[in-house]
Amino acid sequence: MLELAPVRRVLIVDPCDACHSLLPDLSAHGWAVDTCSLGAAGDTPCDVGILRLRPFHLEWPHEIQALINGSTAQWLAIVDADGLRAQDIGNFVCELFFEFLTLPTEPHLLLGALERAAGGAIAPAVNHPSAADDDCDLVGESRAVRDLRRLLGTFASTESAVLIRGENGTGKERAARYLHRQSSRAGQPFVTFYCAPMSVQTLHRELFGFDRGTFISAPDGMLGRLEQAQGGTLFLDTVEALPLETQARLLACLQEKRFQRVGSQTALDLDVRVLAASSADLESAVAQGRFRDDLFYRLNVLQVQTTPLRERHGDLAMLAQHFARRYSKEIGVKACGFSEGALVAMARHAWPGNVRELSNRVRRAVILAEGRHIASADLGLKSAEAGSAPMGTLEEYKHRAERQALSDVLNHHSDNLSVAAKVLGISRPTFYRLLHKHQMR
């Protein structure tokens, strides 16, 4: 069988001089690099996109949002640290992009971000295994997360397809990686494919690959995601976006356990476990004829649901501290704690972008924090004092917030106070002191 080298493509949009200086490192680690202007970005396929974000880009926020939402790639932002202080830029980055980096950046940080964005499918590990391990962790001790870990552990022992459902940013890919790491395929590739809207021809090239000489514009050929995942796991994200023609071809591959590259007459054996994810109502899509019922049943053998951050009671502080430690180590600064005002502001925020938004806001805060504690302004959130309705003194608000936090965590962990303290991110003696203070013992 003809062996084709897998191609991983990164597109840098509106690069600056500092971006150009990073290109040799990317090429040396197996990335095919292309650059273009914002206006041409939608016509250039890539596995990961990078936008050098400047203030003038915010004159066309809808254009950037349409580019990212309509792309099959994950998108990173490269920004100036000073730019993150601007509320509009900081919030735009935190809520829209997969991850961001600040200039100047080290090559290994960019390579690590690229690996995470591309799914770490086929590249040799960048010399930061702890970051890769972090992407497979399901951090939290809420009942929802404990139940999810237990269910994924059970499903890991089978070879059945799993459909992972949940809102955007709730960690569907992280759940898929966790399942893969627990399975017998853990030592084999984990390949992510984002099924965002694109032409059927492009989609089939990306998914099934093509041989050398099939296309004049790409004479070397390319391995598709199915072939990259051989022996391991293929994760189909936003699976509802697949057109019907692709759904039919994918279904045939899964049923027959064989596939053909585009332009080839040779059938190849297929050995992959398929995990799919969707934030859409697939049942309605089936009823409306937009999604094949036979493919839905093929993918929905087993099902799990990820939980929005707003419903993961007790996990917010633990997740924030987890991200703060991770990014402090990555950036090379001393780890900061969170001020009382920051904790209150996080508790009041609705988190429409879920865990992904929290991750980006904490990364931003680690970069911007100037004191020993991260403040609400560093997170880009309104302080407790900025609320529109008066709520008494700050001390009174803190008292109510403490009591509510204790009540929430005891509802889930009354049988294990050590775990309850860990969920709140405090020591056991501090936890007991607060229980005594609020007469909740």
What CATH number is associated with residue 374?
Answer: 1.10.8.60
What CATH code is carried by the domain that includes residue 257?
3.40.50.300
Q: Round to whole Å and give the CA distance between 434 and 305.
A: 34
Q: Does one domain contain both 47 and 179? A: no
Give the tokens for residue 23.
């290109």
Task: Say what the pLDDT of residue 220 is.
Answer: 62
As given in the structure block, the two tokens for residue 416 are: 């294990």
Contacts of 20 (CB under 8 A, 6+ apart): none
pTM for the predicted model, two decimal places: 0.72
Q: Which domain-ending residue is among 124, 159, 183?
A: 124
What is the sign of the dihedral through the CA atoms of 424, 426, 429 and 435? negative
134 in a structural domain: no
Q: Which of 72-76, 280-284, 396-400, 431-435 has the lowest mean pLDDT?
A: 396-400
Beta bridge mates, 191: 234
Contacting residues for 430 by C-beta, under 8 A, at least 6 apart: 421
One domain for residues 365 and 228 = no
Separation CA 432–CA 406 (nearest Å)? 10
Mean pLDDT of 312-326: 89
Dihedral sign computed on CA atoms, order 412, 417, 423, 425: positive
| pLDDT greater than 70 at residue 147 | yes
pLDDT at 130 over 70: no
Q: For residues 58 and 162, state if they share a domain.
A: no
Burial of 312 (0-12, 13-18, 19+ CB in 10 A): buried
Looking at the domain assignment, is residue 411 inside a domain?
yes
pLDDT over 80 (residue 196): no
pLDDT tens digits for range 339-380 = 888 988 998 898 989 999 999 999 999 988 887 789 999 999
Query: What pLDDT digit, counting tens, does each position of 379-422 carry?
Result: 999 875 544 444 556 666 677 778 778 877 776 777 788 888 88
Token pair belonging to 224 = 């598709």
Do 338 and 371 lie in one domain? The reply is: yes
Kindly state whether residues 435 and 366 are assigned to the same domain: no
Which of residues 238 and 417 earns the better pLDDT score? 238
Q: Which helix (H) or strand (E) segment is 115 a member of? A: helix 107-118
Whether residues 267 and 282 fall in one domain? yes
Separation of alpha carbons 302 and 161, rounded Å: 6
Cβ atoms of 125 and 132 within 8 Å: the answer is yes
Question: Any idea what the CATH number is for the domain that residue 431 is in?
Answer: 1.10.10
Please count the structural domains in the chain.
4
On whether both 206 and 280 belong to a single domain, the answer is: yes
Residue 2 lies in a domain: no
Helical (H) or strand (E) element with 404: helix 394-413
Same domain, 194 and 299: yes
Is residue 216's pLDDT more than 80? no
Q: What is the DSSP string of 180-230?
A: HHHSTTTTS-EEEEE--S--HHHHHHHHHEE-TTSBTTBTT-EE-HHHHTT
Tally of CB atoms within 10 A around 281: 13
Last residue of a domain, one of 359, 384, 409: 384
Say if 48 falls within a structural domain: yes
Q: Note whether 202 and 349 are same-domain residues.
A: no
CB-hemisphere CA count at 13 Å for 201? 3
Q: Which amino acid is at 395?
A: E
pLDDT score of 24: 86
In a domain, 289, yes or no: yes
Domain annotation covers residue 62: yes
Q: What is the mean pLDDT of the chain?
A: 84
Q: φ, ψ for residue 33 (rounded to 5)?
A: -105, 135
Q: Give pLDDT, residue 397.
A: 67
Listed residues 124, 156, 176: the one ending a domain: 124
Cα separation of 220 and 4, whole Å?
8
Spatial CB neighbours of 219, under 8 Å, sequence gap ≥ 6: 212, 213
> How many angstroms separate the first and last alpha carbons of the chain?
69
Is the separation of the CB atoms in 440 and 404 below 8 Å? no
**Same domain for 154 and 271?**
yes
The CATH number of the domain holding residue 38 is 3.40.50.2300
- C-alpha distances in Å from residue 228, one per residue of 196, 198, 203, 208, 387: 19, 20, 15, 10, 51
Tell me: do 63 and 150 sit in the same domain.
Answer: no
Is the per-residue pLDDT at 215 higher than 70?
no
State the Cα angle at 398 between 392 and 400, rounded to 5°.
80
Instruction: Please report whether residue 404 resides in a domain.
Output: yes
Phi-psi region of 281 (alpha: psi -120 to 50; beta: other; left: phi over 0): beta
User: 112: pLDDT confidence band, cut at 50, 70 and 90?
Assistant: confident
Q: Give the pLDDT band of residue 123 (cuts 50, 70, 90).
A: very low
**Which pairing describes strands 258-260 and 267-269: parallel, antiparallel, or unpaired?**
antiparallel
Q: Which of 172, 255, 244 is nearest to 203 (CA)?
A: 244
Q: Which domain holds residue 412?
A: 388-441
Same-domain pairing of 344 and 410: no
Q: What are the counts of helices (DSSP H) followed by strands (DSSP E) for the chain?
A: 21, 16
- The answer to whether residues 315 and 145 touch, using CB atoms and an 8 Å cutoff, is yes
Domain annotation covers residue 244 = yes
Q: How confident is the model at residue 129 (pLDDT cuts 50, 70, 90)?
A: very low
Give exposure, 56-95, as e/b (b: 16+ Cβ within 10 Å).
ebeeeeeebeebbeebbbbbbbbbbeebbeeeebbbbbbb
Task: Tell me which residue of 259, 239, 255 sits closest to 192, measured CA to CA.
Answer: 239
| pLDDT digit string, tens, across residues 27-60 | 888 888 999 988 888 878 888 999 999 888 888 7
What the block records as the tokens of 25 is: 């490192």
How far is residue 350's CA from residue 331's CA, in Å, rounded to a whole number? 27
